[in-house]
Chains A and B, each alone.
Chain A
Amino acid sequence: MREMPPLAERLSPDTVTRLERAGHYRFISADILRDQRQRLAALYFYGYSAEMWLSAAYYRSAGFKPYEHIDRDTRHRRMVQARQLRLESGVFLMNSDPHPLVGWARFLEWQRSLSGALAVPDAQRLREAVNKAIEIYKYWRPELRYKVIDITDGQLASVRRDVAWLKDNHEKLSEG
């Protein structure tokens, strides 16, 4: 019998395309769980979908080609930079949360602004992405996997709406 290599050995490095596909499939999985009334699990997956869409948009806007490898060190250096930079208010773009949804949204906004003055619709869209990330992060945390708490239909619907917005606006958010 042919021996299958362990799954961990078959996990290839991230690319923009793989992040986008992961964002897409986590969203589909979340919808299935929502239909089965597994609200907490659905919320958990919606949050990861948001993280994938936002980080993919950042990498795309930073000039990464669709199939260019993004290894751990590369990702780490980006997060270090985002954790050094501050908003005008003095707040860091990205905090030390391990899955910083809001940080990715702000870092994306910063990256897009590097190429010069943004058109008003683009600036508004990027601001809206930050707002959506803030809203999602009110309900979502990676720690949800350890928890057993009640999520209401309303909360789930709100998170789903915001993640769907990130998904639907992904291309325009990424344009660098």
Chain B
Amino acid sequence: MPVIRGQVQTAVITPEQRQDVAKRLAKELTGEAAPGGPVIFEIPFERPDRFDVLVVWDAWSVFSPTERSAMILAAYNGSTLQVAQALGVTHPEAIEQQVLPYSVVPMMRRSEINEEDVKQAMLAEGGFALPNGKVDLRFPTMALAEQAHKRLADALPKGYWSIVQTVGYVQ
């Protein structure tokens, strides 16, 4: 019978890489958005000073969950916000784990509107550019999805937008 030996696969992260990711995260927080940067969701609670922070970013893939949380908390260090939870996930993880269950989807004919305008508007709202050229715009709460929906409807009044909820929570 064959012997099947598993290989230990540990990503080696250099201090420079770590610093670079931390810097990009901090920049994004100051409003300096960059292509391929993180999408940061600040999810409010009833108390205005307390937020869950969800950072969706494929650059997390080499970092452990603990490192991701620590880097998010470090980026918020000095902020007046109280971070209740700092959660970092890659886009595929976000889909698989259903942390972005509310999608905002364009429902319009190609003849009605320029497709590129729609994509750009979705990207500006935090959409994820997919390899197939489409944009996936998702949110962790219905409230955030509704706010984005309203902004998109105002910005692109032709056609309409829909909010779709992924069902699949285990009760």
Binding site for B on A (CB under 8 A): 62-65, 68-69, 72-74, 76-78, 80-81, 83-85, 98
Q: Which of A62, A72, A83, A98 is in CB contact (< 8 Å) with B84?
A: A62
* A76 CA / B45 CA spacing, docked (Å): 15
Q: Is the CB of B45 within 8 A of A80?
A: no
* A84 CA / B101 CA spacing, docked (Å): 18
Q: Is the CB of A81 within 8 A of B87?
A: yes
Collect the chain B residues with CB atoms within 8 Å of residue A81's CB: 65, 69, 85, 87
Contacts A77-B85, A78-B85; A85 near B65 (Cβ below 8 A): yes
Contacts A68-B47, A81-B85; A76 near B65 (Cβ below 8 A): no
Contacts A68-B46, A77-B52, A77-B54; A98 near B97 (Cβ below 8 A): no
Q: Is the CB of A63 within 8 A of B50?
A: yes
Q: Total interface residues on B, using CB and 8 Å?
A: 24
* A84 CA / B65 CA spacing, docked (Å): 6
Binding site for A on B (CB under 8 A): 43, 45-47, 50, 52, 54, 65-66, 69, 82, 84-85, 87, 89, 97-99, 101, 140-141, 169-171
* A98 CA / B170 CA spacing, docked (Å): 6
Collect the chain A residues with CB atoms within 8 Å of residue B66's CB: 85
Name the residue of chain A whose CB is nearest to the CB of B98. Answer: A76
Q: Is the CB of B45 within 8 A of A68?
A: yes
Q: Is the CB of A76 within 8 A of B99?
A: yes
Collect the chain B residues with CB atoms within 8 Å of residue A72's CB: 169
* A65 CA / B43 CA spacing, docked (Å): 17
Q: Is the CB of A74 within 8 A of B52?
A: yes
Collect the chain B residues with CB atoms within 8 Å of residue A69's CB: 45-46
Name the residue of chain A whose CB is nearest to the CB of B96. Answer: A80
Collect the chain A residues with CB atoms within 8 Å of residue B89's CB: 80, 84
Q: Is the CB of A80 within 8 A of B46?
A: no
Name the residue of chain B whose CB is nearest to the CB of A82. Answer: B65
Could you tell me the distance in whole angstroms from the C-beta of A12 to the nearest C-beta in chain B? 13
* A90 CA / B65 CA spacing, docked (Å): 13
Collect the chain B residues with CB atoms within 8 Å of residue A76's CB: 98-99, 169
